[in-house]
Amino acid sequence: MLCDETLRDHVVEKLVGLAHEAGKITDKVDFYDAVMSREKIVTTGIGMGVAIPHAKLPDCDDFFIAVAILPKGVHWNSLDGAPVRLVFLIGGPDDKQTEYLKLLSSLTRALKGEAMRRQLLQAQSPEEVCHLLSNATAK
């Protein structure tokens, strides 16, 4: 049986792989290592069943978000101790701190609403997730 930390790391690895396949990052090992180094400093499990692992690297051209919806949840050492069911991996260039903070703030604000988190957990397609997030972060 896998330990909870292994499950967390596996989720991050899968999301990094998806970002690589989509052409968002060039080196998935470097990006994964950067995300996990950040995770060791302080958990990215912000509470409410949400984690926002992230990294910024010089070879990223623009920001991206990869999403995982985990109906059963994964232990993430979250601030509130709750299992994480929604994971938003953020990546982007290391020289655009202001844009990064705006993206993180907008996403966090959207995810504070319980209704939004419930809708995301019930989403049936990647397109539905994108639509929900686009509408919520546009406000």
Q: In this predicted model, what pLDDT tens digit does every residue of 61-75 receive, in sequence order?
A: 899 999 999 988 999
- Domains in the chain (CATH in brackets) are 4-137 (3.40.930.10)
The pLDDT of residue 76 is 92
Whole-number Cα distances in Å, 87 to 16, 58, 123: 12, 23, 14
CA-atom Rg of the chain in angstroms: 14
Rounded to 5°, the CA angle 133-102-14 comes to: 55
Q: Please report which confidence band the pLDDT of residue 5 belongs to, taking 50, 70 and 90 as the band edges.
A: low
pLDDT tens track for 11-69: 999 999 999 999 999 999 999 999 999 999 989 999 999 999 999 888 888 999 999 99
Kindly report, residue by residue over 82-114, the tens digit of the pLDDT.
999 999 999 999 899 899 999 899 999 999 989
Q: Which residues are catalytic?
A: 54
Q: Output the pLDDT for position 91.
A: 93
pLDDT for the residue 33: 95
Q: Report d(CA 33, CA 120) in Å as an integer.
A: 28
Query: Is beta strand 45-47 parallel, antiparallel or unpaired with respect to 64-74?
Result: unpaired
Mean pLDDT of the chain: 89
Tokens of 42: 């302080």
Query: In Å, how far are 26, 45, 57 from 69, measured between CA atoms?
Result: 24, 14, 25
pLDDT, position 15: 95
